[in-house]
Amino acid sequence: MGVFLHDAGLFFRHLAAVDFGALALALAFQALRLVARTRAWRNIIAAAYPDARVRWRNVLGAYLGGVGLNAITPARSGDVLKLFLVKRRVEGSTYPTLGATLVVETLFDAFVGIALLVWAAYLGVLPNIHKLPRLPNIDLRWAFQHPLAIEIGALALGILIGLLLVWATARVRAFWARVRQGFAVLDDRGEYVRTVVTWQALSWVLRLATARRCGHRAGLAALSLPRQGRAELAALVQRRHAHRDRGRERRPRRARARAADPVAAIQAAARRRCGRCCRSRSGHRKAAAVTIQGTQSAPK
């Protein structure tokens, strides 16, 4: 009980440091971002069902309900709620078509996400590729230890897939026709850019404005990190930048030292020759000694 009271008191002390004006502005930006996304989704659905009346307020309610459910449940279950609510409001709509409209909605987001990933890789803030083997992975030892179970499971899965294909053969054409209907807005690229991309670009601008300015001004970091943690994080960032700057300053010094010291130059050449076979320092010294001996014994 004492720990709970201490944590509660710590939370409210940090909450008192929040700038509620900036927090209200951040919440307003977030609400406007969701509104912009609902306008884009409404236009996608309207293009898929040009003869039906698609009201924006119905799409707004379904989208907000799905976002709220996604916030508290895993596996994007809120998207199922979105489809269920919109299908009840749009006459003649089907789940395959509405599901395809959600895919169309994510196209621009995927483009922006890939661009941000490439930018992060260019800045060097992504994990080093040499650290990938040390990351957690899936243990496949059970599959190799029980090959009979894997063979039986694969056979059963193949039979099930075959039965589903036989059952769905008569329905495949109708299914894919409905899915294709959800991508109708892409038939006219000008309309897609005008009615979808513009709203989604606005939503990204509002998202970045919320994260870049309002989050820091509102003091939201005070709710997630205590003062000691923030100080340690700031010190870590400063040490990282200082280490990077020192590394940049040492590069020309090392080059000048190697040019002035022939032994250092020979050692550098030995490192390049041995490659992976001589990674340790002792290996480097041995390779350098062999190189020096070879240069001394060579006929002049």
- pTM summary value: 0.61
For the stretch 59-62, contacts whose Cβ atoms lie closer than 8 Å and that sit 24 or more positions apart, written own/partner, are 59/86, 59/89, 60/35, 61/85, 62/86, 62/89
Residues 52, 70: Cα–Cα separation, whole Å: 28
The verdict on 265 and 205 lying in the same domain is no
Does 49 map to a domain? yes
Containing 244, the helix (H) or strand (E) segment is helix 227-260
Residue 144 maps to a domain: no
Angle (CA) 224-226-229 rounded to 5° is 100
Categorize the per-residue pLDDT at 228 as very low, low, confident or very high, splitting at 50, 70 and 90.
Answer: very low
Which has more pLDDT, 210 or 263? 210
The CA distance from 146 to 155, in Å, is 15
Residue 239 lies in a domain: no
In a domain, 232, yes or no: no
pLDDT tens column, 77-120:
899 999 999 999 999 999 999 999 999 999 999 999 999 888 88
In a domain, 143, yes or no: no
Model confidence pLDDT, tens digit, residues 230-286: 455 455 556 655 655 555 555 555 555 545 555 455 556 556 655 544 444 555 555
* Domain stop point among 224, 241, 273: 224
- Structural domains in the chain (count): 2
Mark which of 199, 224, 249 sits at the end of a domain.
224
Residues 169 and 291 in one domain: no
Q: Do 300 and 179 share a structural domain?
A: no
pLDDT tens-digit series, residues 119-160: 888 887 776 666 655 655 555 566 667 778 878 888 888 888
Q: Is the dihedral of CA 287, 288, 292, 298 positive or negative?
A: positive
Report how far residue 72's alpha carbon sits from residue 58's, in angstroms, rounded to the nearest whole number. 22
> How many whole angstroms separate alpha carbon 46 and alpha carbon 65?
20
Give the residue from 178, 198, 224 where a domain finishes.
224
Question: In terms of domains, do 14 and 111 share one?
Answer: yes
- Residue 253 falls within a domain, yes or no? no
User: Quick one: 187 and 291 in the same domain?
Assistant: no
Whether 10 is covered by a domain: the verdict is yes
Residue 26 lies in a domain: yes
Neighbours of 273 (CB within 10 A): 13
Q: Tens digits of per-residue pLDDT, 30-82?
A: 999 999 999 999 999 999 999 999 999 999 999 999 999 998 887 788 999 99
Whole domain around residue 300: which residue ranges? 259-300
Pair (68, 204) in one structural domain: yes
pLDDT single digits (tens) 5-17: 777 777 777 777 7
The span from the first CA to the last CA of the chain, in angstroms, equals 86
